[in-house]
Amino acid sequence: MRFTTPLIAASLPFLVLSSPTRIHSNEKGRSIPISKRGSTFVDHGVVNITALRAHLAYVGAKYHIGLKNYERNTSPVHPLAWDRATHATKRDITTSALTDVRDSIWWGNISVGNPPVTFAIYFDTGSSDFFIPDVSCMNCGALRSARYSPSLSSTSSAVGKSFSLVYGDGSSVSGYQYIDAVTVAGLTAKRQTLGSATALSQNFQTGAMDGLMGLAWPASSEFGATPFFNTLMQQGTVSQGVFAFYLSESGSELRLGGTDESLYSTPLQWIPVTQRFYWRVGLDKVNVRGTEVVSGLSAIIDSGTTLIVGDPPTVREFYRHIPDSAIIKGDVNNEFFTYPCHYDPRISVTFNGASYPIGFNFGPVSNGSSQCLGGIVGLAGTPFWILGDIFMRSVYTAFNFDNASIGFARLKSEWDPKFS
């Protein structure tokens, strides 16, 4: 019997490694329902451009952080610097400091630690870090009360590093890094790095959600840590390095470890990612009524952005092809455009020869107006296009780490994407 102990010990690593595969043998992965807060951008059918401006400033600030990381993690300095946008965000955010700039992002419930504590978290394919509010945070918002208490979680350990996400406008999220178990859709990443936020700057304090989980590539992590989904992959908890979003009026979901074929009607069309940092792909064309009006673009697919954002010269060129469209005057860095509400420009985007129609009309710009806001906007300093929520609601989108590609398919249940 003296051999029993070493034999068991030797077999343990094998058991630990093989069990996730046995448990999660479903090739299609697992889903978590996701939801979005009601109308922040459209109030009683009228577009709130003030709120959209604040959101756009947040988007600019987020990419400012990301591109700084790019410059830090790669050399020589990335040609796509964001200096003009830094100025843009500074001016814009200060004029609307109490807007929760993230209100438009899809969220779901996840749990952290042992015993598990549930947090409501935004899912953001445009960044790679994960943070939740710390129990000691005095200004982390009051609408929800979930807090992370490292001392109450038996699986928590301190990394011994602080973190600080400082946006271009001076707003920030800061705190300390921990390692703990994080579960989404029943899939647990053991020893996941997370940020426990002890301080949020003012424009982050009004939100209804507890924190944010980034789903972009590890290279864009400000923490320098493995992001949640990549931890699942490393630990063999998912059999495919694929996650997917289905955004709809009801039944929206984030699927981890595969795709849900019951939700789309065409085969997934896979487009190679051009840079393993953001989810960035070549965008061949943007079309108005089936006719190409701009082409040869590069686009990031970002669940954390509401609009479609592009560089101002290209966006202006796009609107030249929409009759009676007009720029909204008064913005220094943002360029919003209106067009006649009765005209349907039937906007579509083309990737590798396949076109996907997208919702575009945000609604009248003022009560009773016959001019509507277009869903494509210009942001100064944007080195790429950002296809946000209004694009992702029009397609099924799968993000594939295994072979660095993004898959698009038409939705089975076509619906009229309304903006809220």
Strand intervals (E) in 167-277: 172-184, 187-200, 211-214, 242-246, 253-256, 269-272, 275-276
Helix (H, G, I), strand (E, B) or coil at 249: coil
Structural tokens at position 368: 């009773």
What does residue 163 show for φ and ψ, rounded to 5 degrees? -145, 155
Residues 308-367 that bind ligand NAG (CB under 6 A): 367
Q: How far apart are the first and last CA of the chain?
A: 68
DSSP class of residue 268 equals: P
Of the pair 50, 370, the CB lying nearest ligand NAG is at: 50
* Residue 363, Ramachandran bin (φ over 0: left; ψ between -120 and 50: alpha; else beta): left
Does 96 engage in binding with ligand NAG (CB under 6 A)? yes
**Least gap, CB of 352 to ligand NAG (angstroms):** 10
Strands 42-43 and 46-47: antiparallel
Helix (H, G, I), strand (E, B) or coil at 369: coil
Of the pair 11, 50, the CB lying nearest ligand NAG is at: 50
Distance (Å, whole) CA 285 – CA 293: 7
| Identified catalytic residue from 302, 311, 331, 389 | 302
Does 272 engage in binding with ligand NAG (CB under 6 A)? yes
Of the pair 241, 381, the CB lying nearest ligand NAG is at: 241
Does 99 engage in binding with ligand NAG (CB under 6 A)? yes
Give the CB-side neighbour count of residue 388, counting CA atoms within 13 A: 23
Residues 387-416 that bind ligand NAG (CB under 6 A): 400, 403, 405
**What are the residues facing 43 on neighbouring strands?**
46
| Identified catalytic residue from 92, 124, 134, 389 | 124
**Least gap, CB of 84 to ligand NAG (angstroms):** 24
Strand intervals (E) in 336-381: 337-340, 347-351, 354-357, 361-364, 371-374, 376-379
Does 291 engage in binding with ligand NAG (CB under 6 A)? no
Of the pair 27, 414, the CB lying nearest ligand NAG is at: 27
Of the pair 78, 280, the CB lying nearest ligand NAG is at: 280
Of the pair 93, 225, the CB lying nearest ligand NAG is at: 93
- 124 classed as catalytic: yes
Residue type, 177: Q
Binding mask 138-177 for ligand NAG (x = CB under 6 A): ----------------------------------------
Does 207 engage in binding with ligand NAG (CB under 6 A)? no
DSSP class of residue 35 equals: B
Residues 363-392 that bind ligand NAG (CB under 6 A): 367-368
**Least gap, CB of 405 to ligand NAG (angstroms):** 4
**Least gap, CB of 366 to ligand NAG (angstroms):** 9
Of the pair 51, 411, the CB lying nearest ligand NAG is at: 51
Distance (Å, whole) CA 230 – CA 400: 11
**Least gap, CB of 24 to ligand NAG (angstroms):** 17
Distance (Å, whole) CA 141 – CA 124: 20
**Least gap, CB of 29 to ligand NAG (angstroms):** 12
* Structural contact between residues 167 and 65, judged by C-beta atoms closer than 8 angstroms: yes
Distance (Å, whole) CA 261 – CA 411: 10
**Least gap, CB of 85 to ligand NAG (angstroms):** 21
Dihedral, CA atoms, 128, 133, 134, 136, nearest 10 degrees?
140
Residues 110-139 that bind ligand NAG (CB under 6 A): none
Of the pair 2, 44, the CB lying nearest ligand NAG is at: 44
Dihedral, CA atoms, 26, 28, 29, 31, nearest 10 degrees?
-130
Distance (Å, whole) CA 211 – CA 139: 13
**Least gap, CB of 71 to ligand NAG (angstroms):** 28
Among positions 20, 60, 66, 108, the unique one binding ligand NAG when judged by CB under 6 A:
108
Among positions 270, 341, 343, 383, the unique one binding ligand NAG when judged by CB under 6 A:
270
Total residues in contact with ligand NAG, by rule CB under 6 A: 20
- 344 classed as catalytic: no
Residues 18-77 that bind ligand NAG (CB under 6 A): 33-35, 43-44, 46, 48, 50-51
Distance (Å, whole) CA 171 – CA 66: 15
H or E stretch including 390?
helix 389-392
Question: Active-site residue numbers?
Answer: 124, 302
**Contact residues for ligand NAG, defined by CB under 6 A:** 33-35, 43-44, 46, 48, 50-51, 96, 99, 108-109, 270, 272, 367-368, 400, 403, 405
